[in-house]
Structures are given as structure tokens and as C-alpha cells.
Amino acid sequence: MPHDHSEPHSLLPSDPELRARALETILVQKGLVDPAALSALIDTYQNEIGPQNGAQVVARSWLDPAFKARLLADATSAIAELGFEGRQGEHMVAVENTPEMHNMVVCTLCSCYPWPVLGIPPAWYKSDEYRARAVKEPRAVLAEFGVALLAGQKVRVWDSSAEVRYLVLPMRPAGSEGLNEAALAALVSRNAMIGTALAGTA
């Protein structure tokens, strides 16, 4: 597009709230968007699809070795066993933290994220700062998040550059023996499944 011609979006109000309203009005008037569908989409990602889904996957993997084996072999199918599948989770890979290896996930080019298990990515994951730094200085980033690595533990960063989506399986915390799936899931935060926290921490 030549630089002497404005991009079409400049025809809309520049204030983002007014811009959203204008876009909605235009699209609804033209019969292209159903306002009730917008509400349903927002409600789904606000209330139904979120990190509680991924936490259930992780808790199940801690309790059921056969499930964990399936999850590491074919995460998309294993996660679908729990009913979580669809948009932005079409090709899942689960990566397991061990005393030797800590995994963390980023998307340096945009904001790719496993929606069916973690929902909509948080603002920090989409921030320029995380996208810029996670690949070059993951240890500094982890320290900033308060993650203490074990002695000798290596770090592996997964940059989601295609339609493959990564779920980190954090290590099961000591002292969690005997807890049921729901209690274990409560120990698994969103950040722990991105790799910027450990299980059992907020």
C-alpha cells in the first residue's frame, strides 16, 4: 500500500472504544455479525474456556500414568479425551518439566497460545517485553517471575511459530501425595502451564 494513501482502518474513529462500537454497528447493520454471537463468544472465553481446563489435564497426568503417556505421545487426542478441543488447539504438544529440564512457551511473532486449555492469553504473554526477551534471556525472565530453577536444570524455550500449540506439564509438587484430581488441579496456575511459574505457586 503506498504511503500517501491511508489504510482503510483510519476511516474509523481512532478512540478504541468508539472504534469497536463503530465496527460493531457497521457489521450488524450489514447483517454480517449477530450481536448475540458476540456476547456468546465473549461469555465463552470469559467464563467457560480458561486455564482450569489445562489444570485438569495436568492433574490427570499426575494421577494416571497411562493418560500421561498418551498425552506425551499425542497431546491433541489425549486432551480431547477430557473434552477440550477446537480453535487454536488443533495440534497440541505437551512438554514435561523434569529436574533436568524446565520448559517455557512464547510466540515472538504474534500471540499464539493454546486456547482450548488455557483460554485467551494474558496481557503479559502478548506484551512486546515478553515476546522480545523470552528467547534470548529466559533465565532473567524466569527470575523476574520468581521462578527458582534447580541446580543444573536446563531451560528450553518453545517459540510457537506455526499452528502447533504447547502445554507445559509442571512437576508435581512435593507433599501433594494423596490429593484428588480437583485438589491437584487447584495447584496448577496458568503461568505454570506456560512455564513462568511452578506448580503450587500462584
Partner 1 sequence: MTRAHDLGGRPAGDIPEKDDAVVFHVGWHAKALALNLACGALGAWNIDASRFAREQLRDYATLSYYEKWMAGLANLLVERGVVSEAELAGEVAKAPRSDKSLHAGDVPSAIRKVIPYLRSSGPAPHFQVGDRVRTVPAPGAGHCRLPAYAAGRVGTIILSHGNHVLPNSNARFQGENPQPLYTVEFTAAELWGEAAEATGDAMSLDLWQPYMRPA
Residue 186 found at the interface with partner 1 (CB under 8 A): no
Q: Which of 178, 182, 48, 23 is nearest to 116 (CA)?
A: 48
In the bound complex, what is the minimum distance in angstroms from residue 177's beta carbon to partner 1? 27
Helices 16-29/35-43 angle, 10° precision: 130
- 61 in active site: no
Strand runs labelled E in the chain: 91-96, 101-106, 154-159, 164-169
Alpha carbons within 13 angstroms on the beta-carbon side of residue 62 total 29
Per CB under 8 A, the list member of 55, 113, 190, 193 interacting with partner 1 is 190
Cell of 200: 503450587
In the bound complex, what is the minimum distance in angstroms from residue 68's beta carbon to partner 1? 18
Q: Which residues pair with 95 in a beta bridge?
A: 168
Per CB under 8 A, the list member of 99, 139, 182, 186 interacting with partner 1 is 139
Q: Which stretch binds partner 1 (CB under 8 A): 5-13, 54-62, 65-73, 176-184?
A: 5-13
- 112 in active site: yes
- 161 in active site: no
- 160 in active site: no
Residue 17 found at the interface with partner 1 (CB under 8 A): yes
Q: Which of residues 45-84 bind partner 1 (CB under 8 A)?
A: 45-46, 49-50, 80
